[in-house]
Amino acid sequence: MKILVCAKQSPDSTVRVKVAGDGKSVDAAQITWAISPYDEYAVEMALERKDADASTTVAVVSLGAARAKDSLRQALAMGCDEAILVSGPGADALEGLAVARALAKVALEAKPDVVLCGRQASDDDQGLVGAALAEALGWPHVATITKFAPADAGAGSVNGIDVWKEVEGGHEVWRATGPVVLTVQKSEKEPRYPSLPGIMKAKKKEIPEKDVASLGIDASLPRPEMVKMEPPPSRGGGKIMKDGDAKQTAQELARLLREEAKVL
């Protein structure tokens, strides 16, 4: 089985993000970058399949700024076989639909059996690229999956891919035939740490770079644009009740929770 994972580089989730001077981007100086968490689950899920069947190959593609190469290196160190960077001027400013169209070109060339994407990126939370990629490819899409495996057609033969997805109170199993795009909720295990030999091997691997301009994405198509970014309002001060005995305090607290905070 050949798996292609689409991984976006986004600000590490432990970093405190600040709005930059232009009011519509984040201050890059303060940021350490990492594979977006759901995409990291997708990488782990692909590698779990490779653990189960060593003939599986896992390629990972990232579209964005040149620094995304570091995240691809991380994916290689975790155990992916190859990595592709789609970069060049404007690559990190593409919106979701254009990203999906660009990734579709990469996928058509790579000819995977399965494309895995995280269900959404941790920076814009759009959750668009996976579904739009399926549409651009004309392939089916199953969302928020937790596991996939070759479907057992009996007598040791395999036909299609079984896909598990969480639903309220349980899970469903879907079967897909032919190539499919899956968006990942969570892998069975937490994403693995790269091993030291993995890190050394990854450093020696070439990461081919494609210029996004060469993929023929029509930039004149209608597109939404972010115009403003605002941090959440700073938290107001708390209220300390120090007058009165326990009974009065409790009554006052209940009143405030009901009338001011409106949580009761």
> Contact residues for other proteins (CB under 8 A)?
77, 193-200, 203
Q: Which is nearer to other proteins, 51 or 53 (CB)?
A: 51
Q: Which is nearer to other proteins, 4 or 76 (CB)?
A: 76
Q: How far apart are CA 113 and CA 110, in angstroms?
A: 9
Torsion 242-243-244-249 (CA) sign: negative
Q: Which is nearer to other proteins, 70 or 81 (CB)?
A: 70
Minimum distance from residue 195 beta carbon to other proteins (Å) = 5
Q: Which is nearer to other proteins, 39 or 180 (CB)?
A: 39
Phi-psi region of 118 (alpha: psi -120 to 50; beta: other; left: phi over 0): beta
Q: Which is nearer to other proteins, 88 or 198 (CB)?
A: 198
Instruction: Report DSSP state, residue 124.
Output: T
Cα 47 to its chain centre, rounded Å, is 16
Minimum distance from residue 67 beta carbon to other proteins (Å) = 15
Minimum distance from residue 190 beta carbon to other proteins (Å) = 9
Minimum distance from residue 187 beta carbon to other proteins (Å) = 16
- Count CB-CB contacts under 10 A for residue 164: 16
Q: How far apart are CA 160 and CA 157, in angstroms?
A: 10
Residue in the block written with tokens 């890190």: 199
